[in-house]
Amino acid sequence: MPIANFNAIPITGPGDQIPVLSRYDPIWGFYTFRQLLENTFNDAQVYHSRAVFQIDGAFTCDAEEVDPDADPAGALIALTTKYEALEALFSAAGAAARPIDTADWFTATDARCIQLPTPIADKLGHRLHAIPLGLTLIEGQYALTLRYSATLGEPQVPSSILLVNGFALNDAQVQIDPPKPIVTRHRMVAGEGSMVNIRNYTQPTISVSGVMPSRAGELLSERAVALSQSLLAGFMELKRVRWSPTGLVVTTLYSNLPVDSPSVDIRPNDRGVSVSVKGLA
């Protein structure tokens, strides 16, 4: 439950007919907090939950210490300035690039995340970071109160990450083709079935594909270049990194895997580079 204890502070703006119990934060104004926990069941019929946070807030003349009667235009500017600052916070997070290092994802250093106001915290008391999903300015008496509704999502890191020569690939797909027989068939004049001659078995093939993020304005990230340079040696190492309660667990899947037909697909508008490479075990 990402919430500690909400103190009840009624909104006291002159436009409020019915006070709402809320907290106050310099960025969020007066706000109330709501959490929806949705469970997604996988093929094994076990679920994994993901939270959506809703913050309904209001910027009021009282809180901004402006007098809407004496200076209605100035009061409106003061309130819209607060809202625009919040909107800019959401826009900046939505436009931010993925941190290059996966370990930084959805932490305080991840520019894609917005820190939720105190006292919202996880069960360990840590402040929460969330990704922006929506921000709506609600119609009302703008000169007196600006109300908004913000929706944020719980960011979650994948349970497993693939490392190719030490470089992380996002959205990785690994196709393993085990050895298969090299077969020659002969149909028989009489009798049923075929006569099958097995010459040998193929070597297993491991095809890897994934995405490496790039910074804004960067067509080919330094990491993608470094990965491609490491593949020039003709071998690759595949490792699986898993998050666990005790830390990262690294398992080597294949080492010294001969490299075959590596390629990169540069997609500037997606701010990423698709990498695919085949390994012959």
Partner 1 sequence: MASESAKFVNNLGTLSFSNCLIEIADDWQWSGGIVTRARRIRLTGVVRRAEFDAFDEMSSTRAIGVGVATEPGQRGVLTLPWTSIAKMKLQSIDMPGDTWLHTVNVTAEFVDDDPDSSKYECSFFGITLINPRFVLQLPFRSVRDEYVQMPISGGTIINTLDATFGAIRSRQTYDNMRCVLSGTHLIEEDFDVQKTVEILAHRGGTNNVASTGLPPGYPAYFNMADLSPELATHLPLTNLWVIDSTLAWSFERDQADVTVQMECPPQLLA
Answer whether 14's CB lies under 8 Å from 62's CB: yes
Cβ 127 to partner 1 shortest distance, Å: 7
Task: Give the integer Cα–Cα distance in Å for 108 and 114.
Answer: 9
The CA-CA-CA angle for residues 210, 213, 218, to 5°, reads 135
Positions in 193-222 near partner 1 (CB under 8 A): 193-194, 196, 198, 201, 204, 210
Positions in 59-98 near partner 1 (CB under 8 A): none
Positions in 4-43 near partner 1 (CB under 8 A): 5-8, 21, 32-39, 41-43
Quick one: which segment of 69-77, 131-139, 149-157, 258-266 binds partner 1 (CB under 8 A)? 149-157
Residue 47 half-sphere exposure, CB side, CA atoms within 13 Å?
A: 7
Q: How far is CA 105 from CA 57, 127, 143, in A?
A: 27, 15, 40
Cβ 179 to partner 1 shortest distance, Å: 4
Task: Give the integer Cα–Cα distance in Å for 79 and 72.
Answer: 11
Q: Which is nearer to partner 1, 34 or 267 (CB)?
A: 34
Among 74, 99, 119, 158, binds partner 1 (CB under 8 A): 158
**Beta carbons within 10 angstroms of residue 97's beta carbon:** 17
Cβ 170 to partner 1 shortest distance, Å: 8
Cβ 276 to partner 1 shortest distance, Å: 14
Positions in 102-131 near partner 1 (CB under 8 A): 105-107, 122-124, 126-129
> With the CA atoms of 252, 254, 256 and 258 taken in that order, what torsion angle do they form, in degrees rounded to the nearest 10?
-150
Positions in 173-192 near partner 1 (CB under 8 A): 173-181, 183, 187-192
